[in-house]
Each structure stands twice: as structure tokens, then as C-alpha cells.
Amino acid sequence: MIHLIKLAVGVRDFAHLAALQASRATAGQPLRYQTRNLPKRADELCDGGSLYWVIGGIVQARQKILGVESATREDGSRCAVLLLAPVPVQVAGFAKKAFQGWRYLEPAEAPPDLAASGAQADEMPEDMRRALAGLGLL
């Protein structure tokens, strides 16, 4: 198993990501995320891997990867499609500098889900949660 990590460009916070994903999910179908390059480790991604989202410089969420498909864009160029679970899961974040595209994330480096970590992030203001996550305290 392996994970991917990707910047969530234009997303303000976890609540915003969850709202965007909810609006994109239709009738329980998996969300489709299109990317230029087909991951060479697609089999490992589909074996329990997740796509971790970096929001505002902090890893804040993940979505389980249900499948990886080869596809063609409207202009005829090749691409890959990641099929994602429709609901993102909030994670105990850590700071991550900006990067282009996506990167592999080893399971040992992936942050735990907030529910599993015992943190009460829902009770904290978003700016406080971001500050604590940026310091590696959450």
C-alpha cells in the first residue's frame, strides 16, 4: 500500500473541501480526479491507499483511492483518473511546503485520522487548529 499527496488549490479549509466534494458527488458515485500522469504504483494505491490533501500549507484531509484508470482528455491527450471515496476524512495535519503535481506518501509518514488520534478538532476554531498543526502539535 502507498498513498498520494496533492495540493488542494483554491480550497480554504477542510469544511470547504468537504462542501466541494459533496457538490461533485452524484448519486453515490466515486469522485473522479484527473491528473496528467498515470501513477506507476497504481496497484499499491488501490490496495488501501488514500489521496492526502494539503490545504493552506497543512495536510488536513484524505480520501480513499478506489481505483486508477487511464483516460483521454477532450483534446486527445492521455491522462489518469483517480476514483475517490465521496467523503473526505479530516486528519491530524502537519506542515507541508508547496510542490507541483502529486507525490507518493509512505504509510509510515501519513498522518492519522483525527478521530483515531483522539483530537477534538471539531471544537477548535479553524485558525487555532491550523496554527497547532503548523507547529506539529495536532
Render pLDDT for 27-84 as a digit per residue (tens, 0 to 9).
667 799 999 999 999 999 999 999 999 999 999 999 999 999 999 999 999 999 999 9
pTM across the whole model: 0.83
Per-residue confidence (pLDDT) for residue 133, from 0 to 100:
64
- 78-122 residue pLDDT tens: 999 999 998 999 998 889 999 999 999 999 999 999 886 555 555
Per-residue confidence (pLDDT) for residue 64, from 0 to 100:
97
Yes or no: say if 68 and 83 are a contact pair by the CB < 8 Å rule.
yes
Per-residue confidence (pLDDT) for residue 99, from 0 to 100:
93
- What is the 3-state secondary structure of 91-134? ECCCECCCCCCEEEECHHHCCCEHHHHCCCHHHCCHHHHHHHHH
Per-residue confidence (pLDDT) for residue 42, from 0 to 100:
95
Yes or no: say if 17 and 72 are a contact pair by the CB < 8 Å rule.
no
Of the pLDDT bands very low, low, confident and very high (cuts 50, 70, 90), residue 23 is confident
Per-residue confidence (pLDDT) for residue 93, from 0 to 100:
84
The yes-or-no verdict on residue 138 having pLDDT over 90 is: no
Task: Kindly tell me the burial class for residue 20, based on how many C-beta atoms sit within 10 Å of its own C-beta (0-12, 13-18, 19 or more).
Answer: middle
Q: Which residues pair with 27 in a beta bridge?
A: none
The CA distance from 103 to 101, in Å, is: 7
CA 64 vs. chain centroid, Å, equals 8
For 40-72, b/e burial (b = at least 16 CB within 10 A) is eebebbbeebbbbbbbbebbbbbbbbeebeeee
Per-residue confidence (pLDDT) for residue 66, from 0 to 100:
95
Q: Are strands 58-72 and 31-35 parallel, antiparallel or unpaired?
A: unpaired
The CA distance from 13 to 19, in Å, is: 10
